[in-house]
Chain A
């Protein structure tokens, strides 16, 4: 699946709740993550995803209905 604008949007959307709850999960282990750290992690994650998709993404096999 090749990275498309739609896929990018969906990945961003799904990663937002994960990033928000990252602080809660870290809190369970007594690790206090500052907000800025979460924002940096989120941007790094997105960058990594884009690079991985760009390098190893399959050919787009989805068909628009």
Chain B
């Protein structure tokens, strides 16, 4: 019979807990550095305090984006998924060595990319990567930046292979059983990631690395942009899906209840698998080399993506209401008061959900082709993604850490009040900053600019003043940085605390509506993967063909021609006819 101490994750799976902790450690170091860069930027561009050269702003901006949006989120995700697979399959990873191998490769790749970025602050070094998070041509980085990124991506593929291997071995012993929900979520997310990262892998390996090494004289910039966005919209869901996983499987428990519906959660993750990738062109509404028709199709696909997010909102709130009523909550709205608001893990996730709703609405503006023109490349866009990846994802991850880290260290959380102050400070800071960013974007203030202050020109805002918006952004950014400091302080002291037999209640109750009532076809991952690939082929074949033809070939160099749908159609038809003729020739 299991003792109390054996119920803790670190006692049941010590090797896996070590891998998860290592992933979280890298994630939190990246969070600290990235947040510091964020503080420097926010004070610089608002002209409150300028401690760096404006030329170095772009180095810091790249560091902020890469360290937070790639290193922090994905290391956390890998640690969280490793925990979820071991917990939900109730078995350790098949090879400890393999787990450490992908972690080592990811860390090495991240270190190379970070060296290339930080090298920009030391001019004599001759290494820089001031290419921003959106690292497509024509901006060029040092080769080690791209090589580091390639290693990082390959390492995530290996991490996915680790989890698929665990699932395959589990399946042999559990014929006919439904895939445990958390494992299902990990596997569908990773399938989506495999499909999505093909774009960035092709871009980096075949174009950007040879170009940065001088092996090829030029690239087709629009092709590298398109391949980047082919990857960089689904990466949004790669960030979001672990947050959703926490909202579906952990938040209901923290609320005091159970998940409302397991089948609905599966449907949502399948919809993200199908719809995340064939939409990347909606980031390119103002790219002149892509025909309007393709952009319209991308916009339509994007609007379908609202469905799984709305389903999630419904399920998360229904689960929270169920939890509140289990705790004695009553009435139409009074049940909200019965929720465990003193628990930073719960409150952080609830705040993240509230701001994600706001981020969803501003995302609809981004996704609409006509109104996108109003806010494209303005400060509105950072305002939007600081609500989504910067809050829905980052705040959920920090809040989840208050519940997860004690399971890994075997120690109790150092301070719940500090945790509560931290998540609240993040919420308030983000409201100040992102609200002002959205409004500044509507006034036309550009993004990716160190000094958005111009001579003989003043931006005008219909309500308040531009000065107020600047102060709001600086105040919000400062609160966010202080919030990260509190979080890291709490995590550090938690990990140094005394071991406890039961540091946290880690039991996750079964859903109200279980998987047994849902169609088994939901678990047919091969079929869903096939459909996802088909959708990508349908969405991207013609636009990519047109970009190659119009942009002077795979490696550019030719004169661009106006974009038309027929150009892509011509190239695709020619290629198809050639292939059929060859096939007929071989058969004949």
Contact = CB atoms under 8 A, between A and B. Distances in A.
A44 interface: no
Nearest to B344: A6
A63 interface: yes
B328 A64 contact: no
B327 to A, nearest CB: 6
Contacts of A23: 463-464
B39 interface: no
Interface string A32-65: 1001000000000000000000000010011111
A28 to B, nearest CB: 9
A6 B348 CA distance: 13
B435 A20 contact: yes
B462 A27 contact: yes
Contacts of A35: 464, 468
Nearest to B431: A17
Contacts of A58: 337
Interface string B397-429: 000000000000000000001001100100110
Contacts, number: 63
Interface string A9-27: 1101100110011011001
Contact of A6 (B341, B428, B472): B341
A23 B561 CA distance: 48
B382 interface: no
A7 B337 CA distance: 9
Contact of A20 (B254, B342, B420, B432): B432
Contacts of A62: 327, 337-342
Given A20-B431, A20-B432, A64 B421 contact: no
B464 A65 contact: no
B380 to A, nearest CB: 15
Contacts of B109: none
A58 B347 CA distance: 21
- Majority SS of interface residues in chain A? helix
B534 to A, nearest CB: 42
B343 A61 contact: no
Nearest to A23: B463
B351 interface: yes
B327 A27 contact: no
Interface residues of A, number: 24
A21 B435 contact: yes
B343 A65 contact: yes
Contact count band on B: 20 to 34
A4 B342 contact: yes
A13 B424 contact: yes
B287 interface: no
B34 interface: no
Contact of B327 (A7, A9, A61): A61
A65 B341 CA distance: 10
Residue among B343, B421, B431, B462 having the largest count of chain A Cβ atoms under 10 Å = B431
A26 B472 CA distance: 19
B468 A27 contact: no
Interface in B317-372: 327-328, 337-343, 346-347, 351
B417 A5 contact: yes
B434 to A, nearest CB: 10
B226 to A, nearest CB: 37
A6 B463 contact: no
Interface string B262-300: 000000000000000000000000000000000000000
B347 A10 contact: yes
A32 B463 CA distance: 7
B342 A64 contact: yes
Contacts of A9: 420-421, 424
A39 B427 CA distance: 18
A9 B431 CA distance: 15
B427 A64 contact: no
Given A61-B327, A63-B256, A63-B340, A16 B420 contact: no
Given A63-B256, A65-B256, A10 B468 contact: no
Contacts of B341: 6-7, 10, 62
A63 B343 CA distance: 10
B499 interface: no
B327 A17 contact: no
B505 interface: yes
Nearest to A27: B463
Nearest to A10: B341
Residue among A13, A21, A63 having the largest count of chain B Cβ atoms under 10 Å = A13
A6 B351 CA distance: 14
B322 to A, nearest CB: 15
Contacts of B339: 62
Contacts of A21: 435
Residue among A4, A21, A63 having the largest count of chain B Cβ atoms under 10 Å = A63
Contacts of B338: 1, 61-62
B431 A10 contact: no
Contact of B340 (A5, A17, A65): A65
A12 B429 CA distance: 12
Interface string B489-515: 000000000000000010000000000
A64 B351 contact: no
A20 B463 CA distance: 11
A55 to B, nearest CB: 16
B403 to A, nearest CB: 9
Nearest to A63: B327
Given A20-B435, A62-B341, 7 more contacts: A6-B417, A9-B421, A16-B428, A27-B462, A27-B463, A35-B468, A65-B340
**8 closest residue pairs by CB, A with B:** A6-B342, A27-B463, A17-B431, A1-B337, A13-B424, A61-B328, A13-B427, A10-B341
7 contacts: A9-B421, A16-B428, A20-B435, A32-B463, A35-B468, A65-B256, A65-B346
Interface of B: 254, 256, 327-328, 337-343, 346-347, 351, 417, 420-421, 424, 427-428, 431-432, 435, 462-464, 468, 472, 505
